[in-house]
Structure 1
Amino acid sequence: MTVFTVSPVVLEIPGRPVDLQLKVSAPTEGTGLPIILLSHGQGYSNHLSSLNGYAPLANHWAEQGFVVLQPTHLSSRTITLPADTPGAPMYWRSRAEDMSAIIDRLDEIEKAVPQLQNRLDHTKIAVVGHSMGGHTASLLLGMTTEGVSLKDERIKAGVLLGSTGRGDGLTDVVKEHYSFMLSPNFADMTTPTLVVAGDKDGSEHLTTNGPEWHMDPYHLSPGPKDLLVLEGAEHGFGGVSGYDVAETTDESPERVATVQQLTTAYLRSQLLGTADWQQASVGVGFRVDSRP
């Protein structure tokens, strides 16, 4: 399916230090299109952690009939804010608020992108996040941290790629600089969610719990959940954050294709009621666990 992109779409958000910019990727045809909100991670590249990243995923989902909305969060290296700006350096709360603001302003986004007018289904919304973006997505799906709930009931499903887990076993660096990661509570994360983890993704700079740490959102949350474990995958899942990215330690076009296909199948099943996920969740190079 042919797609188009428009970037940046700029939203003025009261109280936000800078305007919220996002990229829109969408199919050129079709109506009643489901929406994916995509939250970037925090790698050391200058531009992947922004609306300019994650092309392998955004392009694929748009080709499959989704409208993908990618904001640049305040934590992006493309935004230079004073170190003492409230919420720095990760702006964990602002990240989730960005996503809810986008949902609030869908009509405004449609006006800014005339090719979208009267083509979106505002009732079919999913959130996807990688790494720190997974933490953002988890908050929107019902996880709390520091006793704060940012759950958005308008979001009907989620996909967490290499997301954050439990608060114990974290490294001293995390304890010193990212204290919000010490108190996650998954008890209210009831929204249907696919948790994606790599069995070689140790994330030693964050945790001593090993690859299983990224599986915590599946094991510690209630409600319908699915766990996808990719064999041999490290934190980049073969290169989902961008094409030919040097920081991808497990580059594999085949693994990226697996992530593309399985996440698409899951999101189609959750938002459109298809049987794609049941049909796709058996194969080579991965395993799937499910819980109703």
Structure 2
Amino acid sequence: MTESATATSTPVVSIKPVTLQAPGRGEDLRVKVTAPAIGQGLPIIVFSHGFGSSMDGYGPLADFWAAHGFVVVQPTHLDSRALSVPTADPRTPRFWRFRVEDMKRILDRLELLETGVPHLAGRLDRSRIAAAGHSFGGQTAGNLLGLRVLDPDTGSGEDLSDSRITAGVLLATAGRGGAGLTPFAVENFPYLNPSFADMTTPALVVAGDRDDSPLTVRGPDWMADPYHLSPGGKSLLTLFGAEHSLGGIAGYEARETTDENPGRVALIQRLTTAYLRHALGIDGSGWTRARKELAQSADPLGSIESR
């Protein structure tokens, strides 16, 4: 796929940490902001990291998105290894909920973030905001799109969607709970019981066809549930040969990458950028062109379907 599928890249700047007061959280919220050095009317991506990671991860995505016109805001959630919150901490069962609150707190404090980052004030387009996330972060982003975490006893789930979010990218995101979970997952991760029935916001779901998670008995197909079980207006990018790190999106030379593949990461960079430009109403031609190029590739790294 050629660079023509996305906008021309520009230099980027990153600022960290920007600290947001968070009463009741036990820790103030620390975020990293990565932005184009130039440009006006910049759309926003709020990115949720995977379990244990932090705002310092996912450079291959954050840097690329910023170089192509997005302001990327990355919180450090309470489950991050950087915070060392003990397993016995009373907040632990609600980590999933604190994550959603972190993302909403960022949206509530965009003005503070603008003033806290040099040369960013007045450059944001607050009408174009996307939520993205990897693994546990994919569920967090999904909550803002309409995904509901069901109570295992009552079967009910609270609507935590946010109308300020108008598009999403869910990378290697857990599927349906219940009988699809391993006993380990049932015992340790009760929040892995999502319903996608109300996830109406447009989204690109990215799944690896070799992402065989220890949390499910269903195999890699589990990661496609956010696409198949949600209302229409979704696209699914299936990556051939990809495991949970999808080729290395978690960081440059990250130790958790088990399937390092720079070409696969480059494909994700370009396709997610083209998709978000399309879904946020910036430019639809790049997404159309990117899909066509992938379909016509002699040795494709993946496939795309939409509904």
- What interval of TM-score do these two structures reach, taking the shorter chain for normalisation? over 0.9
1:230 to 232, 239, 247: 239
Root mean square deviation of aligned Cα: 1.2
| Cα distance change on mapping 1:89 and 1:244 into 2, 3 Å | farther
Residues 1-292 of structure 1 aligned to structure 2 (within 5 Å): 1-42=10-51, 49-88=53-92, 91-145=95-149, 146=151, 147-167=157-177, 168-181=179-192, 183-203=193-213, 205-271=214-280, 272-282=282-292, 283=294, 284-291=300-307
Distance (whole Å) between structure 2 residues aligned to residue 156 and residue 87 of structure 1: 30
Distance (whole Å) between structure 2 residues aligned to residue 279 and residue 224 of structure 1: 18
Indicate if the aligned counterparts of 1:33 and 1:120 stay in contact, CA closer than 8 A.
yes
TM superposition score normalised by structure 2: 0.90
Structure 1 unmatched ranges of 5 or more: 44-48
Distance (whole Å) between structure 1 residues aligned to residue 96 and residue 85 of structure 2: 15
- C-alpha deviations, 1:185-236, integer Å up to 9, x for none? 1111000000000011111x10011111000000000030000001111111
1:149 aligned counterpart, secondary structure: coil
1:114 aligned counterpart, secondary structure: coil
Distance (whole Å) between structure 1 residues aligned to residue 160 and residue 88 of structure 2: 23
Question: Counterpart of 1:46?
Answer: none
Structure 2 letter corresponding to 1:118: G
Structure 2 letter corresponding to 1:223: G
Shift of 1:114: 3.0
* Sequence identity (%): 55
1:289 aligned counterpart, secondary structure: strand
Structure 2 letter corresponding to 1:267: L
Distance (whole Å) between structure 2 residues aligned to residue 133 and residue 89 of structure 1: 16
Shift of 1:279: 1.0
Indicate if the aligned counterparts of 1:87 and 1:93 stay in contact, CA closer than 8 A.
no
1:76 aligned counterpart, secondary structure: coil
Structure 1 letter corresponding to 2:197: A
Number of aligned residue pairs: 284
Shift of 1:273: 3.8
Structure 2 unmatched ranges of 5 or more: 1-9, 152-156, 295-299
1:262 aligned counterpart, secondary structure: helix
- C-alpha deviations, 1:66-90, integer Å up to 9, x for none? 0000000001011123434333067
Structure 2 letter corresponding to 1:165: G
